[in-house]
Every structure is written in C-alpha cells, then in structure tokens.
Chains A and B, each alone.
Chain A
Amino acid sequence: MTPPDGRRLVGRSPVGRGVFAIEDQELPLPDPIALDTSFVVEALIATQPLHGVCDPFLTRIFNSGISIVTSELLRVELAEAAFAIALKERWGGKWRGHRTDGRSRPRAGRLLNHTLIRYDEMLRSMTHISIPLGDTASIAPTFMTDYGIASYDAAHAATALAAGTETIVTTDTGFALLPASLLTVYTDSSRVASCRKKRPR
C-alpha cells in the first residue's frame, strides 16, 4: 500500500484519531518511522513494565527493513535517565535532592555507558536518520505555542516531520496534543484511549 505522499506502508490503513496500539500485528509501518525516548527506554531496559511490548515492536521494525528516525536529543535524555537511575537506586524517592552527591557517580557512569552502548547497538542494527536539534529549532517552538505540547515532545515531533515521517512511536501521551492531521501516534494499548481523548477537536 502506498499513500499519495509516497510513504511505504506495510499492513492496513490507520483510523481512530491517528492513535494506534503497537501490539496490533497488522499495524502499518511507515518508512521511515520516528522513535521517541519513552519508547526506547522501554525497549532497551528489560526491567521496564512495557519492555515486553516495546522490544517486540522494535524487532518488528527491524524485520520490516524500514529506517528509524531519532532526534539527537534522545541520546541526552538517555544519559539523563541513566544518571537518575543511579540516584534513585541509592536514594529512592528523594533522589532529586542528591544530584550533586558524588557517591552515586561511579554507578551512574557505569549505567550511562551500558545505556549508550545499547542505544548505539540498536542504531547500528538498522538504517538510522539522526536529526540534530538545530535542524528543527524553528518548528518545535511553533508546536509549543500552537498546541501546548511540552518542549521535549515538540522537539521529537518536529524531528519526525522534518525527516518526512508523520508517525512517532512513544509511550508519552503528550504527543496526542498535536492534531491527528499532523502526527500519528503509535503507543501501547493501555495509552490509546487517553491519547485519543487528548487529541484536539
């Protein structure tokens, strides 16, 4: 199936306010497809609650041979997550107040290495389009002011559109603040209803 804009799709056509569950094995895969940090975190870290959903979907993307699009922001967010894991492991719910405590840094450094090595392996396994923030700097603020989307989400959404895909894979319902005509959201089934509810009418 090839839509008018030339994107290659595999499977059936999307419906439903532009929000779809990644558990659906018939879900079309546009080429390329954008990945958000929230999806990558779940796919890479085996102890995450949605790993069992996101890892198979990433494998499905791999098997289909399509290209993936990411913002360079994703790498920074992963590093931040790794650092925060070390803090949270040591300090629990009070981790935010211990950011400058050096005792967590050795563990943070190891986690950061583990995380980025895995991320790089993921990227090296597929054709990958890496979009610098500078290439989307004029679009992201427009999304924020027009639709109230958060800055990081705006950067990832702008990345997708700048690269020529209208679909992002995410577990962050904030992307649904953009209209369905602009961005299609692929998410896990537990978030489909809340995403559809957030869509502007």
Chain B
Amino acid sequence: MEGVAKTQTNGKIERLSPERLAELTHPPAYKTVEERRAALKRATEGFRVKVRVTPDMYGRR
C-alpha cells in the first residue's frame, strides 16, 4: 500500500505521507466552539456503569 508507515532499515519510523494524513484527518463536525464543547460534554458526562472497567476487559493484559 503506497503511503503506509514503515520501519526504515536504520530503525527510524517513516511517517505517513502528508497526502495520506490529509485523507485520514477529519475536522470537527460542529461549526461553533460552543457546539463542540457541548459534544465533548455529552461524551464525558453521566455515563455510569456498575462495575470497574479493567484493561483485561478490552483485551489488554
């Protein structure tokens, strides 16, 4: 695949090309800062569950 990140022979990481990064970049979906702030608030407030989420619950050790 053209543009994918690679490890170079000198061990350094070759970043994605600017063109590929531009393809993968998404601007905020909301126009105003207030709308964006409200979206972030909806994302992070009030989600309560009855158990503690531990790393093994999403496949980590």
Give A6-25 interface residues, CB cut-off 8 Å to B.
Answer: none
| Interface contact A126-B36, CB-CB below 8 Å | yes
Say yes or no: B49 contacts A47, CB within 8 Å. yes
Closest to A67 in B: B25
Q: Are A37 and B51 in contact (CB under 8 A)?
A: no
Q: In chain A between 82 and 133, which residues have their CB closer than 8 angstroms to a CB of chain B? A: 84-85, 88-89, 111, 114-115, 118-119, 121-132
Contact with B along A125-160 (1 / 0, CB 8 A): 111111110111111001000000010110000100
B-side contacts of A111, CB under 8 Å: 49
Report how far A65 CA is from B18 CA in the complex, Å: 20
Chain B residues contacting A121 (CB-CB under 8 Å) are 39-40, 42-43
Kindly state the separation between the CA atoms of A88 and B49 in the bound complex, as whole angstroms.
Answer: 10
Q: Contact between A124 and B29 (Cβ–Cβ < 8 Å)?
A: yes
Contacts of A139 in B (CB 8 A): 5-7, 13
Say yes or no: is A162 at the interface (Cβ < 8 Å to chain B). Answer: yes
Beyond A38-B55, A45-B47, A49-B52, is A158–B5 a contact (Cβ under 8 Å)? yes
Give A130's nearest chain B residue, CB to CB.
B24
Decide if the interface of chain A is mainly helix, strand, loop or mixed: helix
**Segment 46-78 of A: residues with Cβ below 8 Å from B:** 46-49, 51, 55, 58-59, 62, 67, 77-78
Which B residues are in CB contact (< 8 Å) with A131?
A: 16, 24
B50 touches A89 (CB 8 A): yes
Interface readout for A26-50 with B: 1 if CB under 8 Å, 0 if not?
Answer: 0000000000011001011111110
CA A61 to CA B16, docked complex, whole Å: 23
A48 to B16, CA, bound (A): 34
CA distance A176 to B48 in the complex (A): 30
B24 CB contact (under 8 Å) in A62, A84, A129, A137: A129
Tell me the smallest distance from the CB of B35 to a CB of chain A, in Å. 8
In the complex formed, the residue of B with least CB distance to A88 is B51
Please report which residues of chain B, range 1-42, place their CB below 8 angstroms from some CB of chain A when the two chains form the complex.
Answer: 1, 3-7, 13, 15-16, 20-21, 24-30, 36-37, 39-40, 42
Contact sample, A vs B, 9 pairs, CB 8 Å cutoff: A44-B44, A45-B48, A46-B46, A48-B53, A84-B58, A88-B57, A130-B24, A137-B4, A161-B5
- A122-B43, A139-B5 provided; 15 other pairs, C-beta below 8 A? A80-B59, A88-B51, A88-B57, A118-B44, A121-B40, A124-B29, A124-B36, A126-B28, A126-B36, A129-B24, A134-B1, A135-B4, A152-B59, A163-B16, A172-B60
